Chains A and B, each alone.
Chain A
């Protein structure tokens, strides 16, 4: 019975013990944040905040102590992550590196790379971005064209990456480049690119809300030294697939609209409108369910199992859930969303209504995820 394995996971006491500590830290660090600031959730960028988180020992928590990591469990890390997201902490400056770039280097990187990069991530100094999508290669990652040619002492990169979240603020990019034009999947390789490299031009792509998350990154004869190749030439595809399962597994995949649920609850508590009260209850039931699923994926990571199928299920169901919340709030509360003026509910609703389309695009579109799930079902 069962296509998936969502083994129930319970947080061990040492993980729960972290929770009050994290809450106390966040209460102080975020005390001046308005609801609409918190609504940015993990898209909020604040390198100083990330340094403070690093100083707490909450970055690279599961990594080996020899690199300065915490040597802690995935469950302890999970508690820190979910508390940060629930509070709407501006985690983006460290999120990608802590979630996937560090684990990538631990798994496939050289000793020199680990010793150089991991401590910078752990201290909250190094911000990473991910260069995957291209103008002609979005969901179809194997169509990547940006080329890395072997030159003396390194590689020469030419091409364009788009939709690169946070490239304008990042110090490094993990880029997926083509090192062999003959072999579609086997001709891709991953590199660490210094964002200050000459020949690399980052320009903003402003989203529909007028906000700047993502960018276009143009590479013109950008030199990347040999020592910045991750893994071996041609192993990029498999490494990216492993990396994406980390990207899809976390609690950020159902909590993006937590601030709007809280605002809706606030309105419901005032009005006692039965439809709103009931909907808040319904959303709680969904959130409780998704949290258990997400925790189960953390359990898989802790046991060293491959979570990619279950992580895709959580991201798909979680994406539908979080994307539905602005629709529900707009239907139930007869207040206009506002960009200027208005109350907290109105501002948060406006912000998240305009961000919500990205929830089922970033980190793998809904259609891609469902294709992965269909494969897990044995349909393809």
Chain B
């Protein structure tokens, strides 16, 4: 692991480990307040692992972003770290200014967002549902359609026509956002990015967050099983419990391994599409096992609001469906396999 990655790992776990307490997450659930940790996240440069140093970033690799995203998932950090990392990267990559403050990404590449006009008179119109952190972010980096082609745009969310607040199960903002001629800075979609870049890279970051949350549920559950005594011995001494926790550990390990794959592919200069598909399909499937076994082992106390298990499990249940769920990405992989045929199946596993 690189020096930089070690530093980032320590910073992010130090910050979230100290600050993201049950009290903070409870307050976030009730009021949406992050207790000031966003300012810390920004101050430590954690939102810009992929931005060059000349633009105020860390100038790191994708695997540096990966450790931040996993840690965010592990600690249930109630901030748009993943969205801002992606938005900052995409903006700089497209030659747009790197956004200040909270940012998000919006996929309008199916034509739901349209750009008209050129240069300083360019305008953005259209509506997109369930934008992550849409009501909190200052800036959105969007992918929309202009003259039949796909472009990247940057828009201030204060220029939106309307934002209808909504939430996922973890009470993270997932808001319906509409624009009606909002001023937008436009750039070409970089050649090496797919039109559905927001969907793909969004799935990639969610998979990393899921892997982090799986690790959290596993460690919480193991700890609980060692502490809670029934029939005169800790739960973890019962073979029935051991068998289930081992199964869950296998799912957590699988999630961790495949979630890292697309980040490594990007660092190696490869197209990450199939690793992304595998990562989101596999982690989304694992998420259900993690939440189920975690709750079963915790018994009734884990089903209460008072116990902290649900901060991670509600995120698992939400994140597995966002940016395409297990079936969506399995279909993509399956369609490729069918198109490529039996003779290429193994070669694609090996190269993917």
Give chain A's interface residues, CB within 8 Å of chain B: 1-4, 6, 8, 10, 19, 82, 86, 258, 261-262, 265-266, 268-269, 272, 274, 276-282, 284-293, 296, 310, 313, 316-317, 320, 367, 369-371, 373-374, 376-380
Contact = CB atoms under 8 A, between A and B. Distances in A.
A86 B346 contact: yes
Band of interface residues on B: 35 or more
Interface string B311-348: 00000000000000011011111111110011001101
A277 B337 CA distance: 8
Given A284-B334, A289-B254, A379-B237, A8 B260 contact: yes
B330 A288 contact: no
A370 B238 CA distance: 12
Interface stretch (B22-30, B138-146, B155-163, B239-247): B239-247
A75 B239 CA distance: 36
Interface stretch (B41-49, B129-137, B274-282): B274-282
A281 B335 contact: yes
A380 B236 contact: yes
Contacts, number: 173
B94 interface: no
Contacts of B308: none
B350 A281 contact: no
A267 to B, nearest CB: 10
B248 to A, nearest CB: 9
Interface in B279-318: 279, 281-282, 285
B218 A3 contact: yes
B81 interface: no
Contacts of B333: 280-282, 284-285
A287 B215 contact: no
A2 B337 contact: no
Contacts of A373: 246, 249-250
A282 B286 CA distance: 12
A316 B222 contact: no
A288 B338 contact: no
B226 A379 contact: yes
Contacts of A6: 253, 256-257
Given A265-B342, A288-B349, A316 B250 contact: yes
Q: Is the interface of A mostly helix, strand, loop or mixed?
A: helix
29 contacts: A1-B13, A1-B71, A4-B249, A4-B253, A6-B253, A82-B350, A86-B349, A265-B338, A281-B331, A281-B334, A282-B285, A284-B278, A284-B352, A285-B278, A285-B282, A288-B349, A288-B352, A316-B246, A316-B247, A370-B242, A371-B239, A371-B242, A374-B245, A374-B246, A377-B218, A377-B236, A378-B236, A379-B241, A380-B237
A312 to B, nearest CB: 9
Given A268-B338, A288-B349, A374-B245, A2 B215 contact: yes
A11 B345 CA distance: 19
Contact of A317 (B222, B236, B237, B253): B253
7 closest residue pairs by CB, A with B: A281-B334, A281-B333, A370-B246, A374-B242, A281-B330, A379-B236, A373-B246
Interface of B: 13, 70-71, 74, 215, 218-219, 222, 225-226, 236-237, 239, 241-243, 245-247, 249-251, 253-254, 256-258, 260-261, 264, 268, 274-275, 277-279, 281-282, 285, 326-327, 329-338, 341-342, 345-346, 348-350, 352
Contact of A269 (B282, B327, B332, B342): B342
A361 B104 CA distance: 49
A129 B73 CA distance: 47
Contacts of A370: 242-243, 246-247
A316 B254 CA distance: 11
B76 to A, nearest CB: 14
Contacts of B13: 1
A213 to B, nearest CB: 25
A169 to B, nearest CB: 28
Given A3-B218, A285-B281, A379 B338 contact: no
B111 to A, nearest CB: 25
Given A1-B215, A317-B250, A282 B257 contact: no
